[in-house]
């Protein structure tokens, strides 16, 4: 039953393409995505005065977490750091 229904839906969906209909032209999507680069040296998220401090704090947290993960994986792989 399911196979017959899916086959009929697939043939109905493919029929307009077989008759020569074109797909969507996507004019709105192209307008949103294909725009010229303005060439700013600093990105949008670094324009305000406190943004660099927030970026540094976030990078510090991510770096600390990555180091702690590496230490944890090392201890799991070698069996070190166990409690007695």
Q: How far apart are CA 42 and CA 55, in angstroms?
A: 13
What integer pLDDT is reported at residue 45 of this predicted model?
Answer: 79
What integer pLDDT is reported at residue 73 of this predicted model?
Answer: 96
Q: What is the pLDDT of residues 55-71, one digit of tens each?
A: 999 999 999 999 999 99
The share of the chain scoring above pLDDT 90, in percent, equals 35
Contact (CB, 8 A) for 75 and 81: yes
**To 10 degrees, the CA torsion angle through 65, 66, 72, 75?**
-140
As a whole number, mean pLDDT of residues 7-26 equals 65
pTM over 0.75: no
41 pLDDT tier (thresholds 50, 70, 90): confident
Which of helix, strand or coil describes residue 7? Answer: helix
As a whole number, mean pLDDT of residues 20-27 equals 66
């Amino acid at each position: 039953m399911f196979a017959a229904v899916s086959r009929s839906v697939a043939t109905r969906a493919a029929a307009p393409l077989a008759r020569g209909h074109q797909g969507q032209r996507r004019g709105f999507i192209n307008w949103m995505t294909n725009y010229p680069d303005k060439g700013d040296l600093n990105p949008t998220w670094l324009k305000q005065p406190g943004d660099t401090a927030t970026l540094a704090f976030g990078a510090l947290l991510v770096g600390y977490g990555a180091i702690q993960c590496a230490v944890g994986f090392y201890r799991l792989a070698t069996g070190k750091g166990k409690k007695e």
